[in-house]
Structure 1
Amino acid sequence: MAGSQTDWGVLLDLTGPGPKHEQLARALRQAIRDGGLEDGVEVPPSRRLAADLGCSRWVVTQAYAQLVAEGYLAGHAGSATRVRRMASGTGPKAPARATPPPRYDLAPGLPDLRNFPRRPWADAVREVLANTPYTDFGLPEPDGHPRLRRVMGDYLRRVRGAAPGTVLICGGVTDGVTGVCRALVERGHTRLAVEDPGWTRLRRAAEGAGMTVDPVPVDDEGLDVGRIPAGVRAVLVTPAHQFPTGTVLSPRRRAELLAWAWDVDGLILEDDYDAEFRYDRRPVGTVQGTAPGRVALFGSVSKTLSPALGLGWAVLPPQWTVRAHPPPVVDQLALAGFVESGGYDRYLRSARLRYRARRDRLVAALGPARLSGVAAGLHLLLHLDGDAAVVVRRARAADVKVADLDDYRTAPGEPALVLGYGNLADSGVEAAAALLRRAMTTA
């Protein structure tokens, strides 16, 4: 059966709150919901799964019994226990027809994929394959390859003013934040304050790691530190360029945030997601550079090169040990070589010029609109007088993809659109803006 070929230790993530049998039941339930275990697949006998997972047989039998009661598994005396996804109402749906990509993509979150540095990256990969010792092609080290850890530590100190710390190479910011959240839960800290509005994916990652999320409002000075709830000892922030409002955490609020961390013996999770792109103001250094013992700093190449590479990093306080998913060694070493050669810096300089010119064209093409958050990054806010959801639908009908600011809030607020221009073709700026203006004015 297919189930007998499954690597159960990889498929089932036995982390989070609760005793081991609850962790196993939760992991199996999620695997069934996500489609990792299909309808009718045989799950292993309890003794074999217990041996695979390194737990007692009682843990497995309790988890199986719970899922049989919930309808996720079916078991009968003398026969194997099998998945019952169809009976539980969560079975696989008919394949959906693929939605064609929009002609004009103004959604936030992507860099210019058309200008990915294919040749320099290919050169970096060839250099790795030609000159890397065979010993580096074994299993990836859990914390990442030492060379990339050293290179990124030096780069972050040089470019972002980061302080020395434990550099962890991971699969991206979401992977790194998930690892830290799991470590927090293991230490008994199950609440995380997050910016509202904020990046939805990170909020969901924290919840998936077993944390309760406490939204904290953002204003024109950034996170309102004074409204972090009592009892919370961890906070996730984007201080250099708040997503999605584009505000910078003011010096006063930075001081308040650091004072809060010291007062509650807390940890600040700093998402430095697009710090490389500044146009109308000077770069702002990291909070981690001021208090490395209280801040975990996260970054990746997702907003500079491509999210498809799955390359990220975290700089952690020395006392923190975090489990993440190291990227393939060849890609790690290719990034190390790209940075060491100066190719990454050269690419970023040209990208800044390209994005600034594109932003200027978009702002001009939008005409007399109320805009904010235009000084940095790869997105801006377009404030509206009418219903943002209606404008989003009208724009999509015109083949223009935009995002509603409410998609990043916990409750509806002032109507606005989040317009990303990172992956917008230069040839389509004026046409996209014209269609968007029409969607805003159509009766």
Structure 2
Amino acid sequence: MVGSWTNSGAASDLLIPLDRAAPVALHRQIETAIREGVRSGRLPLGASVPPTRTLAADLGVSRGIVVEAYQQLVAEGYLSSRPGGYTTVAAGPSPAPPQAPVRVPPEVRIDFGYGRADVAHFPRAAWLRSLRRVLTQAPDDRFGYASGGGVPELRLALADYLNRVRGTNAAPSNVVVTSGFAQGIALVVQVLARRGARRIAVEDPSADDDAREHARAAGLEVVGVPVGPDGVDVAALAGVSANALVLTPSHQWPTGGVLPPPARAAVLRWAREHDAVVVEDDYDAEHRYDRAPVGALQGLGPDRVVYAGTASKTLAPGLRIGWLVPPAWLVDELAAAKVRADRGSSAVDQLALADFLAHGEFDRHLRRMRPVYRRRRDALLAGLARHLPGFRPAGVAAGLHLVAWLPPGLTEDEVVAAGRSAGVGVGGVGRYRLGPGPEGLIFGYATLDPPAIEEGLALLSGALH
């Protein structure tokens, strides 16, 4: 690439250090500095170097010393000079030594990866209307630092929505706005550790990149509680001693089980007996297809449950908005931890979501998306039955993914590798386990249209057979 320097540069631009006490002649020092600049690429090909008079004046040496240095560099091919013209760099850096060929894994064309809402359906026009209203109508003081709990408008709107739709028992003053669930669980772990917590229980299997990760970073012991077809095994939980339990009771991640009422009561009993906190990760309960809504566990035990929600699975993860509804005795500590973390989430985005909720746009968006996701879920179920009939789907009534248990003789690693060789991305359940368990795959379908789902399953089947 030809350089853009001009001949108005000075010695400081060339980074030429001169040591007058050194035994090396000054013109040799100038040569060495320019030569190294060319070799490293710091002086690009075609760049002009300062005229000899200018450089000599800047360095405090005679012009003859600079002329001698330039002449030597021209002779070596580093510089080029012509009468009446500029002196320019005539060479580039040495080519890099040849590298061994890098093995590039086959490209994944159809990705059944989990964890993504279809952001192509993000309601841009409605969100823009909310932003415009906020920017024209919000009081000036809302654009200062928010409290650790969040702006009042969003805390009120979330409490109203969650009480109405999720059956929570939430007061606006108990809502703490976070930057997604990831920050929310990190704040909960920090506060519990400060209060003396030593052990946290999680479902097995469960996500490996949030509660478990933050708990270990805080020095807490992580113990797994087995999961059955209907969520966490409360019989196994009875034998666990922990300061907190992280649950996905409305749609267990990743197996999809729904915790029934007797088990929910048992979880709350366990929490009271062990003076423990239950963190309810309500990550995708709004997406349901074949069942009636299941209320939040927090509504049954607001004194023991920290409810956690997020806009990532309903609107877009890029918004980075989540929320906690902790027991009253934890609110101030969580709000203070939020302030320490980042001085509060974006006030504009909080106000926009509050307006979005208040004007019913969130409900309308969910009503539009449920049939979209249901069609994709149905296409996945039909395709599995057609192309991979030995796979047993589970957790299909809600959410944005399902688990398919594998038939005897197949392992997760074999299927994942076969899929990748065919350009199909799919993940196994095993990486999320703390103990042994059956082999299965996680199929996310939120971002794939039915033809892509059909093609992906056909390719996977072909790769296996």
Superposition TM-score, scaled by structure 1 size: 0.75
> Quick one: distance in 1 between partners of 2:215 and 2:241?
17
2:167 maps to 1:161: yes
For residue 387 of structure 1, what is the amino acid of its counterpart? T
> Quick one: distance in 2 between partners of 1:103 and 1:123?
36
Structure 1, unaligned runs of 5 or more? 1-95
In the alignment, what sits opposite 2:196? Answer: 188
For residue 359 of structure 1, what is the amino acid of its counterpart? R
In the alignment, what sits opposite 2:222? Answer: 213
Q: How far does residue 99 in structure 1 lie from its aligned partner after superposition? A: 8.4
In the alignment, what sits opposite 1:127? Answer: 133
Structure 1, 127-136 or 271-280: larger mean CA deviation: 127-136
Superposed CA deviations along residues 200-254 of structure 1, whole A, max 9, x for unmatched, are 1121122223321111100123112232354312100000000000001122211
**Stretches of 4+ aligned residues off by more than 4 angstroms:** 96-101
> Quick one: distance in 1 between partners of 2:175 and 2:104?
40
Q: Is the 8 A contact 1:157 1:164 kept in 2?
A: yes
Superposed CA deviations along residues 328-372 of structure 1, whole A, max 9, x for unmatched, are 111111111111111110000111111111111111112233111
Q: Which one of the candidate residues 278, 292, 298 is aligned to 2:288?
A: 278
Q: Is the 8 A contact 2:106 2:423 kept in 1?
A: no
2:453 maps to 1:429: yes
Choose 1 or 2 for highest CA Rg.
2
Q: How far does residue 130 in structure 1 lie from its aligned partner after superposition? A: 2.2
SS, match of residue 381 in structure 1:
strand
For residue 205 of structure 1, what is the amino acid of its counterpart? H
Alignment of 1:98-113 (within 5 A): 102-113=108-119
Structure 2, unaligned runs of 5 or more? 1-101
Q: Is the 8 A contact 1:177 1:206 kept in 2?
A: no
> Quick one: distance in 2 between partners of 1:319 and 1:123?
37
Q: Which one of the candidate residues 389, 394, 408 is aligned to 1:372?
A: 394
In the alignment, what sits opposite 1:361? Answer: 379
2:422 maps to 1:398: yes
> Quick one: distance in 2 between partners of 1:327 and 1:98?
39
Q: Is the 8 A contact 1:174 1:205 kept in 2?
A: no
Q: Which one of the candidate residues 305, 309, 334 is aligned to 1:295?
A: 305
In the alignment, what sits opposite 1:137? Answer: 143
Q: How far does residue 98 in structure 1 lie from its aligned partner after superposition? A: 10
Size of the aligned set, in residue pairs, is 346
Q: Is the 8 A contact 1:182 1:210 kept in 2?
A: no
Alignment of 1:1-80 (within 5 A): none
For residue 354 of structure 1, what is the amino acid of its counterpart? V
> Quick one: distance in 2 between partners of 1:98 and 1:338?
44
2:376 maps to 1:347: no
In the alignment, what sits opposite 2:348? Answer: 330
SS, match of residue 201 in structure 1:
coil
Q: Aligned-pair RMSD on alpha carbons? A: 1.9
Would the alpha carbon gap of residues 131 and 97 (structure 1) be closer, same or farther in structure 2, given more than 3 Å must change?
A: farther
Q: Is the 8 A contact 1:366 1:434 kept in 2?
A: no
Q: How far does residue 136 in structure 1 lie from its aligned partner after superposition? A: 1.4
Q: How far does residue 431 in structure 1 lie from its aligned partner after superposition? A: 0.7
Q: Which one of the candidate residues 263, 266, 277 is aligned to 1:253?
A: 263
